[in-house]
Amino acid sequence: MAKPDLPYLIIDFDSTFTQVEGLDELADIALQGHPDRTKVVGDIRALTDSGMNGSISFSESLRRRLGLLSARREHLPLLVAQLKTKVSDSIVRNRDFFRQFPGRVYIVSSGFREFIEPVVADFGIPSEYVLANTFTYDEAGNISGFDASNVLSRDGGKIEQLRQLNLPGDVYVLGDGYTDYQIREAGLANRFYAFTENVTRDAVVARADEVVPSFDEFLYQNKLPMTLSYPKNRIRVLLLENIETTAEKLFREEGYQVEIVQGGLDEDELVARIEGVSILGIRSKTQVTQRVLDAANRLIAVGAFCIGTNQIDLVGCMKKGVAVFNAPFSNTRSVVELALSEIIALARRLPEKSEKMHQGEWDKSAKGAFEVRGKKLGIVGYGNIGTQLSVVAEALGMQVFYYDISEKLQLGNAHKFKTLHELLQQVDIVTLHVDGRPSNTNLIGAEEFAMMKPGAIFLNNSRGHVVDVPALAAALRSGHLGGAAVDVFPYEPKTNSEPFESELRGLPNVLLTPHIGGSTAEAQRNIAEFVPERIMQYVNSGNTQQSVNFPNIQLPDQQAHRLIHIHANVPGVLARINNVLANRHVNILGQYLKTNEHIGYVITDIDKQYEPEVIDELRHVEHTIKFRVLY
C-alpha cells in the first residue's frame, strides 16, 4: 500500500504527546514530603493553565512556575520514567506512525529538552527534531532557571522557532495550548488541530481549524496510516434505562461518545434515536425490534445489561451483523438472595403481618406460618440462578427438587423431576427461573396452579409473560395458594413516574417488587463492568466470546491487519474471500472461521502491505452482511 504524503507535523509535548504537563509532574516529584506540597503543586498547575489558555503570558507563567518548583537534577530521571508511562493513549496506539515518516514530525515545546528527548526517542523521533527549552542549574545541582537565549523561553517563542525552521510545504500543528494556535495565527501553519484527548481549553478550541479528541482522529481526517481503522471518538454509545454509571465511565475511558437516556424508550422513540449509534446498551424494558434494526445504520453491538435477551430480536441482529452480549452471571447472587428472602417472608406471612401493624392492628398468631427447614422447594429452570438457589436453599435445610427441559448436572442432594406437573404436585414452594423464549409464554396458568398443593407458595423472578397473571390472582383469592412473590410482569412501566397496574395489587400475603431481582449495588456494578468489557473486546479485537447470537471465537493477538467479515451462511463465501486475497497477492498470517445456522464469521489476519482495492473487493463479496478492517 503506497505511503501517503505527510505535511510537516508540529506536535506539542505537554498535554498532547503526553497526558500531563511535565513541570507539574516534576513539582509533584520534587515536593515529596514538603508540608505545603498540595498547595504548591496546585499553584503550579494553575499557572500552567493560565499560560496555556492565554490569560497570562507564557514567559510569566514559566518564570513563576520554576520559582515554585524546588527541583534538582536528580529528579529528572524519575520524571522521565513517569512520563514514559503517561504518553497519550492514542499516541501510544499509533507508535509505528512516527517511524514511517522520519524527518516529517517535529516536537516543538515550551517544555524542557531534558525530559522530552528520552520520551519521544522511544517513538523514533531523534533529538534534532526536538525543539524545546533547557534548564540551568546552580553548583549544588538545583534547577535554577532556564536558558533565556532559547527563543522558546519567550513570549511568541514557537512563532519565532517556526520562522527559523522555515519548513517548505504544508505545515500542520497539533496541540492543546494557545501558543500552539499562535503558530497558525502568525501564518506559519496551514492548519491548527486542537488536541482534546487530555485537556480541553475553550479559548483554544474556539480558534482551531479542527478539534481532534485523539491522534486517531487526526490521522483519520488526513487519510494517514493508523493502527485502528476507525477513530474511537467517532463510535457513539447510547445507554438507556439507568444503567449503572461504571458502564458510562468505561466507554468514555475507551474514547467513545456516550449518550445517556434515563428510562426506557418505546419502539418509535428508539427508531428516532438509533441512527448513527454504534453500541446500544439496554436493560429489560426496551425492545430491539426488526424496525429498530432497520433504522440502525451504524449499529455493531447491543449490550443487554441483564441476564435476559428476549427483549432483543437476536436473529434479526445476527442477520444485520450486530453482535449481542449480556451478563449471564453478574446478578445471579442478587436474584438468589431475593428469592430466598421472599420464601422466608412468605412462609412467615410477613407481608400481611407488617401491613396490619402499620394499620395499628396487633395480630400475634402462628396461623399459616411455618419454617422453611424440611420443606420441599421446586425450582423450575435449573440454570445459573436455579443451581445457586439450590445450593443455598439446601444449606437452610430445604429439600430441593428441580425441573428443566435440558439435562443438567444436579448439585448437592437436589432431585430432578421428569415432568413439570410432577414437580408442581409434590413441592411446597415453586420458584420460576426460566428464560423468555416464546414457547414459555403462560408456562404456568390455571391448570398448573390447580395442580399445586393447597397453601403452596409461588415465586416468579424470571419473565413476566411466563405466568398467566389473572390465573395467579384467582388462585390467591380462592385461598388455594398460601402466598406469592412476583418481581416481573407482562407489562412493566417504562419509567418510575408511570403508574403500575396489576390484578395482584392488594391481595394478602403477596410480595410485589418492581423488577429488582438484579438491582443491588454489587450486581449492577458487576454488570456495568462485564458487558462493556465484552463489547470493547469485540470492537477492538473481534472476539465474540460469550456473545448470545454470534459464533463464539476467542482470538489471539496479532501484529497485522485484521479483517472482520460477517456473511450469510451459504457455501463458497470463504473461498471467495481467499480468492480476492490470492489474486491481490496478500499474505494470510492467520484465519479463523466459525458459523451458526444463519451467519458465518471470518477473521483474517493479513500482511500489512496490501493494495487499497483489496478492501473494496472484500466489501463486495457476495452474501457479505458486514465487513470492517479492525486495525
Q: Which of 196, 228, 298 is nearest to 219 (CA)?
A: 228
Catalytic residue among 515, 562, 565, 567: 515
H or E element, residue 401 = strand 399-403
Q: In sequence order, which ranges of 146-192 are alpha helices (DSSP H)? A: 157-165, 178-185
**Which amino acid, one-letter code, is at 200?**
T
Strand 143-146 with 135-137, pairing? antiparallel
Contact 217, 233 (CB under 8 A): yes
Is 463 labeled as catalytic in the residue annotation?
yes
The one catalytic residue in 201, 333, 463, 562 is 463
Residues in the chain: 631
Cβ atoms 303, 486 nearer than 8 A: no
Q: What are the cell numbers at 552?
A: 463464539
Strands 191-195 and 171-175: what pairing?
parallel
Please pick, among 117, 492, 503, 617, the residue that the annotation labels catalytic: 492
- Residues 6 or more apart from 295 whose CB is under 8 A from it? 271, 274, 275
Sign of CA dihedral 87, 91, 96, 99: negative
Other Cβ atoms within 10 Å of 453 Cβ, number: 17
Q: How many H-runs (helices) and E-runs (strands) does the chain carry?
A: 24, 24
Yes or no: say if 320 and 599 are a contact pair by the CB < 8 Å rule: no
| Per-residue cell: 278 | 454504534
Is 114 considered catalytic here? Answer: no
The conformation of residue 225, written as its DSSP 8-state character, comes to -
584 is catalytic: no
Catalytic site positions:
463, 492, 515
